């Protein structure tokens, strides 16, 4: 039986809807080299001025750079600022 996410993706494709995330699906937005927005996160698991790792539904998002800090964090979203050098998605093993 297909998972709920697969069903929503199929419906979106069939209906010719734009590829926008569905409610609860993590969204990572990069603004230049100095700002990253993560929506629908599950908390911060690692924090330093060189690396911030954020848990999301399907694994982790790891932001690396210089002078990193959490500019804002709420239940629904967080904003990381500083000099962004890389962003990695670390998927959870199935």
- Burial of 52 per CB tally in 10 Å (0-12, 13-18, 19+): buried
Please give the Cα distance from 22 to 93 (Å, whole number).
22
Q: What is the pTM of this model?
A: 0.75
Tell me the chain's radius of gyration from C-alpha atoms: 15
Give residue 86's Cα distance to chain centre.
13
pLDDT tens per residue, range 19-37: 555 677 888 999 999 999 9
* Residue 12 · residue 25 · CB < 8 Å: no
pLDDT tens per residue, range 33-54: 999 999 999 999 999 999 999 9
């Amino acid at each position: 039986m297909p998972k709920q996410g697969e069903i929503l993706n199929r419906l979106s494709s069939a209906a010719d809807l734009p590829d926008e995330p569905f409610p609860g699906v993590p969204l990572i937005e990069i603004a230049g080299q100095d700002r990253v927005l993560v929506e629908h996160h599950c908390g911060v698991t690692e924090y330093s001025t060189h690396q911030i790792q954020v848990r999301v539904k399907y694994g982790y998002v790891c932001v690396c750079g210089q002078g990193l800090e959490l500019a804002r964090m709420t239940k629904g979203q967080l904003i990381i600022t500083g000099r962004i050098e890389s962003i990695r998605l670390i998927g959870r093993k199935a």
